Amino acid sequence: MTKEEIISRLESVTKEFSGYCQNIIDERFFQQPVNKWSIARDVKHLITSADSTRLAYVLPKFILRLYTGKPNRPSRTYEELVSKYKLKLEYGGKASGRFIPGLVDPKQSKKNLLKNYNKAMMRLIAAINKNWKDGQLDHYLAPHPVLGKITLRELCYFTIHHSIHHLLSIQQRTKS
């Protein structure tokens, strides 16, 4: 995918995710099932993820290079990155540390939570668009808590898939 295609996909998945969640009744949105996150917690997790991911695109390039080094391979395709992520999940990979969202008070409005998700994703998209040329995305690395060091292009791919992954999970839960 080119940078323009990545941005388009990020915008599209953000709109689709928000649109779906807006139509979930508040009681269901904040309902805390046993051994699962509430939908509100999924949204909070995606906000934290987008804000953390954005850092890779706003840090000065030389800092990023000092911290992560240079890639020793070409970027994976979207499909290859998704396959690697799914494999990591099968082997027990999951959110940890600050990426595990705390309980969300139902007094917090769904509208505000989704607004914050949209803002976080738009800030991420703006950082990618403003600070990076297409080819540069393959020449810098960023750390990922499950995937290890991945190129910035792969991090874009992950962010697209990550929102889709959570959307599909939410859709599955709201069908029952």
CB count in 10 Å sphere of residue 61: 12
Strands 148-151 and 141-144: antiparallel
Stretch 30-40: mean pLDDT? 90
CA–CA dist 48, 63 (Å, integer): 22
What are the tens digits of pLDDT across the range 124-146?
Answer: 999 999 989 999 999 999 999 99
Q: Amino acid identity of 49?
A: S
Query: Into how many domains does the chain fold?
Result: 1
Query: Looking at the predicted structure, is the pLDDT value of residue 176 above 70?
Result: no
CA–CA dist 39, 171 (Å, integer): 10
Residue with structure tokens 């994703």? 121
Stretch 151-167: mean pLDDT? 97
Domain limits at 82? 3-175
CA–CA dist 113, 48 (Å, integer): 12
Q: 0.85 cut: is pTM over it?
A: yes
Q: CATH number for the domain including 151?
A: 1.20.120.450
